[in-house]
Amino acid sequence: MKLLGKSASPEFWQNTVRNGECYKAFIADRMIIWKNDCEGKPIPELKYSAFKLFKVNGNRQIYEDVYFMRRRNMAAACHLALIYPEEEKYLVYLQDIIFSVLNEYTWCLPAHNTALERNNNVHIDLFASETGFALAEIYHMMGERLEPLIRSRIVTEINRRIFDSYFAGHEGSGNRFWWEKASCTNNWTSVCMGSIGCTTMLMRPDLFERLKPTFDFCMNNYLSGFGDDGYCLEGVHYWHYGFGFFTVYAEMVRKFTDGAQDYFKLPKVRAIATFIQKMFLSGRASVSFADGTPSLEFHLGLCHFLKSEYGDEVKVYSPEFSYVEDGCSRFSLVTRYASWLCEDYYNNPAPDNAPAEYYGADSKWYVKRTESFGFAAKAGNNDEHHNHNDIGSFIFAKGGRQLHCDLGRGEYTRQYFRNETRYGIIECRSLGHSVPYIAGCEQRFGKQYCAKDVVRDDGFFSFDMAGAYACEGLNSLKRSFTVTDKRVTLTDLFDYVGTGDITERLVLSVEPTVMGGKITVGDATVSYDESICTVSVTSEPTTTKSTCYMLDFKLKDGVREFKITIE
């Protein structure tokens, strides 16, 4: 089937993948899942007592651990059944777990389907749409190897849970899912609509023609959430997720229309495609603003595909920095790790330690990588996708890890996604970032709390961040970074006529050692003027069970300039 390309070819799986040197990591990953979670093990059960926990106390983890294990096991069994068709055990397990997934009360996560008072088992969220798409792909990739009842039930459940549910949202009152509306420009749009669009192309191509204007509308909405610089303000994790599903959809619709519709010709898509390579600071240490992650691995197949589209504009680093499976087992992306992988790119990666400097003119993210360290800082506003109150936050990475860190995403709970509780969480509040607090004032949430007068030049980045605070007497707070090949110099200038204390905070991933005017932070050294401040160190637990260290410089009365160097 041309829409699935290599994925639909038995020859690809049984010869190319099975025998290719560059596919060994993919097969090894599939085998680890098989041996640890599938072979000889019962299919894990999704329990009501776990389903209702989100409504009871906000916990997502217990139910989701089992939910994603089931999809991870289904994916691994499918891929192994394709690679080793002579081994009947893979097909037997695959059909058993498909049967079990088809029997689930809902394909939606409890966090997105909180109704416990009534039956609501066909609601569509990210993961319901992904599940429908995964089953549609398995249906075509496995073909007649699946027994008739399994094939028939896949069709029935996709019709009931995806198509009928989706169409019901467009009848009568014109009620639409929130992720279809023009106001939704984040990953939900690309994942939900991309998955439903691809499922429709595979299972109901006649309907796709009718619905195509809706899919076009939504995919253009998703792209409008990016500036022309192509930076993903949700964080690097969501570039993989949202743009990954966009890319899957865009490739498939190009095939469906015989090339008449080609999203990859759009300048903004080209810019977004180059985002991930700019986020590596030192080894796997990454830019973790918003709900990103301090340590990053990239999707090898996705990056290879983008390189095939845009050539040398896209840099793909060593496969040792890549992953096969991200924990949520997004079947379409895991499959395309293999089907989009290019042997030539695999064997000839770009150097990951080459000095570079990047700036997102729309996002106001600044990144500089030198031979000895990586650095990133951000301006922007405090109402971005997956927002943290973090204007002025910065990262210094050396030796493959963040030292001056941005904590990135916290544990996802009900409280994490409610504005009234989100900004009391260490990962999201400004006290969890390397920014000042003044007279006890933290930064505030809202688009009006923003940086102004942003200036960027080679090795220089500055802005006024006073607007991020609602602090009486604070007229301006000009933060600047001067970045050379050897060190970073941070300078803060305060126009503050209030009487409260000014405290400069640095958030660290390792415990610092304070020795007079120098502080050791792992492989880095911070130099400061000890005559203008007193220094204290505290530790804080994060919601993800790690520990961070808060290095606070309390400025003495009347001091209105603070400067440190990091090298």
Q: Is residue 181 located within the same domain as residue 247?
A: yes
pLDDT at 179: 92
pLDDT tens readout for residues 198-211: 999 999 999 998 89
Q: Is residue 82 located within the same domain as residue 146?
A: yes
pLDDT at 169: 58
Show the domain range for 390. Answer: 356-566
Cα torsion angle, 45, 50, 55, 60, sign: negative
User: What phi, psi does 490 have (nearest 5°)?
Assistant: -105, 130
Q: Is residue 516 located within the same domain as residue 431?
A: yes
Q: What CATH number corresponds to the domain at position 150?
A: 1.50.10.100
Evaluate if residue 100 carries a pLDDT over 90.
yes
Yes or no: say if 37 and 290 are a contact pair by the CB < 8 Å rule.
no
Number of domains in the chain: 2
Band (pLDDT 50/70/90 cuts) for residue 116 is confident
pLDDT at 172: 40
**Exposed / middle / buried, residue 558 (Cβ in 10 Å: 0-12, 13-18, 19+):** exposed
Residue at a domain's end among 347, 369, 389: 347
In this structure, what token pair is assigned to residue 419?
A: 């504005």
pLDDT tens readout for residues 272-292: 999 999 999 999 999 999 999
Q: What is the DSSP string of 219-242?
A: HHHHHHTS-TT---TT-HHHIIII
Evaluate if residue 173 carries a pLDDT over 50.
no
Q: Is residue 423 located within the same domain as residue 491?
A: yes
pLDDT at 301: 97
Q: Is residue 517 located within the same domain as residue 436?
A: yes
Q: Is residue 337 located within the same domain as residue 431?
A: no
pLDDT tens readout for residues 181-229: 888 999 999 999 999 999 999 999 999 988 999 999 999 999 999 999 9
Q: Is residue 69 located within the same domain as residue 206?
A: yes
Q: What CATH number corresponds to the domain at position 489?
A: 2.70.98.70
Q: What is the DSSP string of 77-94?
A: HHHHHHH-TT-HHHHHHH
In the DSSP assignment, the letter for residue 433 is: S
pLDDT tens readout for residues 397-455: 999 999 999 999 999 999 999 999 999 999 999 999 999 999 999 999 999 999 999 99
Residue at a domain's end among 284, 317, 347: 347
In this structure, what token pair is assigned to residue 95?
A: 């059909």
Yes or no: say if 70 and 46 are a contact pair by the CB < 8 Å rule.
yes
Q: What is the pTM of this model?
A: 0.95
Q: Is residue 76 located within the same domain as residue 57?
A: yes
What is the percentage of the chain residues whose pLDDT exceeds 90? 92
Yes or no: say if 70 and 101 are a contact pair by the CB < 8 Å rule.
yes
Average pLDDT over residues 26-55: 96
Cα–Cα distance between 148 and 453 in angstroms, integer? 65
For residue 100, what is the enclosing H or E element?
helix 88-102
Cα–Cα distance between 263 and 265 in angstroms, integer? 5
Average pLDDT over residues 456-471: 97
Average pLDDT over residues 116-124: 88
Determine how many CB atoms are found less than 10 A away from the CB of residue 3: 18
pLDDT tens readout for residues 18-40: 999 999 999 999 999 999 999 99
Average pLDDT over residues 145-172: 89
pLDDT at 5: 95
Residue at a domain's end among 317, 347, 377: 347
pLDDT at 114: 79
Cα–Cα distance between 61 and 54 in angstroms, integer? 9
Q: Is residue 385 located within the same domain as residue 525?
A: yes
Q: Is residue 334 located within the same domain as residue 361?
A: no
Give me the half-sphere count of Cα atoms (radius 13 Å) on the Cβ side of residue 218. 28
Q: Is residue 463 located within the same domain as residue 384?
A: yes
Average pLDDT over residues 107-123: 89
Q: What is the DSSP string of 4-73?
A: GGGGG-HHIIIIIIHH-GGGHHHHHHHHHHIIIIITT-PPPPPPHHHHTHHHHH---HHHHHHHHHHHHH
pLDDT at 118: 86
Q: Among residues 357, 305, 346, 351, which one has the least CA distance to residue 322? A: 346
Q: Is residue 321 located within the same domain as residue 369?
A: no
In this structure, the strands spanning 446-450 and 381-382 are antiparallel
pLDDT at 175: 54
Mean per-residue pLDDT over the chain, rounded: 95
Which three-class secondary structure state does DSSP give residue 410?
coil
Band (pLDDT 50/70/90 cuts) for residue 174 is very low
The one-letter amino acid at 155? V
User: What phi, psi does 76 have (nearest 5°)?
Assistant: -60, -45
Evaluate if residue 332 carries a pLDDT over 80.
yes
pLDDT at 170: 58
